[in-house]
């Protein structure tokens, strides 16, 4: 059958999900993959052979939100929107979700997800978003992933399936080179300059871009934004830093330092486990070419580095579909 795709849009015209038709997906033991980060949550639906049948994105979320009533309500609303966008003719039989900030307690997430897809809790598998992203780049034992999203982390899954990290301990402690770090460094630079030369922001492309994104040029606006927004929203300010990098030396320097911070994660893994290929991934890593370039320059000359676009939601969906296909075969 001829394959075709179409996009479903919401009332504003924004793409909500993309559907790839061409097979009777209602008869397949499909798997749903979820990749939840601070700025966006991506989902994909896969057939047992790995074909991606549908995909889309909704608002970002974090496993850390589950600890508060308001956070849990926000997560519940986001997951309900996600479930509404998954095509009803191809509802999944298993779900695999990778969540930023996930600490190993699956029960609350199973309780949220299982009713949305009319599944038993045992059909919902949870992991950190980085574990899923790693498997999108490497088989266990084959390489190191350095991921830069809102935060940053270096990851290695060994041949025994054990997960090893460098960094990735949260934006308040470190996460150098991630979007939040870039935004924080940029605002620190701007406001230190204002301490010394009030009004100097008017001559700074970086400051003007940041203040436009924040919605005001006084300290009250910056304070409310930094201390009143979710970390993913703050991380989005990195877009303004990247947009001004070609016109503002300070912005360019911050992005170069971001690459050096990401190289530190790769170098730490190489020192601990030996030389292996590295993959750089995550939205923040693609903000500007100088990030990957400065990371490469700070790695050993012999190190192999590939800059990739992450499709962790595809990897999660394929894992879910393969797991369900295997269970289905055992029952025959």
Q: Which residue has the higher pLDDT, 286 or 28?
A: 286
Measure the N-to-C terminal CA separation of the chain; round to a whole number of Å. 28
Calpha distance 312→283 (Å, rounded): 12
Q: What domains are defined for the chain?
A: 4-134+311-331 (3.30.420.40)
Exposure on the CB side of residue 278, measured as CA atoms within 13 A: 29
pLDDT (tens digit per residue) in 68-100: 999 999 999 999 999 999 987 778 999 999 998
pLDDT (tens digit per residue) in 146-182: 999 989 999 999 999 999 999 999 899 999 999 999 9
Q: Which residue has the higher pLDDT, 21 or 281?
A: 281
Calpha distance 121→132 (Å, rounded): 20
Binning pLDDT at 50, 70 and 90, where does residue 16 land? Answer: very low
Counting residues of the chain whose pLDDT is more than 70, the rounded percentage is: 89
The closest alpha carbon to 41, from 115, 125, 100, 116, belongs to 100
Instruction: State yes or no: pLDDT of 2 exceeds 50.
Output: no
Q: Is the full-model pTM beyond 0.75?
A: yes
Burial of 226 (0-12, 13-18, 19+ CB in 10 A): middle
Binning pLDDT at 50, 70 and 90, where does residue 24 land? Answer: very low
Residues 45-66 have a mean pLDDT of: 91
Q: Which residue has the higher pLDDT, 62 or 287?
A: 287
Q: Are strands 144-148 and 278-281 parallel, antiparallel or unpaired?
A: parallel
């Amino acid at each position: 059958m001829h394959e075709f795709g179409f996009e479903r849009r919401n009332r504003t015209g924004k793409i909500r999900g993309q559907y790839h038709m061409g097979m009777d997906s209602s008869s397949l033991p499909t798997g749903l993959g979820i990749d939840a980060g601070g700025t966006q949550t991506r989902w994909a639906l896969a057939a047992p052979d790995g074909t991606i049948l549908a995909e889309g994105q909704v608002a970002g979320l974090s496993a850390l939100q589950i600890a508060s009533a308001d956070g849990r309500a926000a997560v519940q609303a986001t997951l309900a929107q996600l479930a509404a966008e998954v095509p009803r003719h191809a509802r999944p039989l298993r779900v695999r979700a990778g969540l930023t900030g996930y600490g190993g307690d699956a029960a609350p997430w199973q309780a949220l997800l299982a009713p949305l897809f009319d599944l038993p809790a045992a059909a919902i598998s949870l992991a950190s978003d980085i574990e899923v992203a790693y498997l999108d780049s490497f088989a266990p034992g084959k390489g190191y992933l350095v991921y830069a999203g809102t935060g940053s982390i270096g990851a290695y899954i060994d041949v025994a399936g054990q997960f090893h990290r460098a960094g990735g301990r949260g934006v308040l402690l470190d996460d150098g080179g991630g979007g939040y770090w870039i935004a924080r460094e940029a605002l620190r630079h701007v406001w230190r300059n204002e301490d010394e030369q009030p009004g100097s922001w008017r001559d700074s492309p970086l400051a003007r871009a940041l203040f436009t994104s924040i919605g005001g040029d006084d300290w009250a606006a910056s304070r409310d934004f930094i201390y009143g927004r979710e970390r993913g929203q703050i991380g989005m300010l990195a877009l303004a830093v990247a947009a001004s990098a070609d016109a503002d030396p300070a912005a360019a320097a911050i992005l170069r330092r971001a690459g050096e911070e990401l190289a530190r994660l790769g170098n730490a893994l190489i020192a601990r486990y030996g030389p292996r290929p590295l993959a750089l991934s995550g939205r923040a890593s693609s903000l500007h070419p100088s990030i990957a370039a400065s990371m490469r320059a700070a790695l050993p000359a012999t190190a192999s580095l590939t800059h990739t676009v992450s499709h962790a939601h595809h990897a999660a969906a394929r894992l879910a579909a393969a797991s369900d296909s295997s269970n289905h075969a055992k029952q025959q």
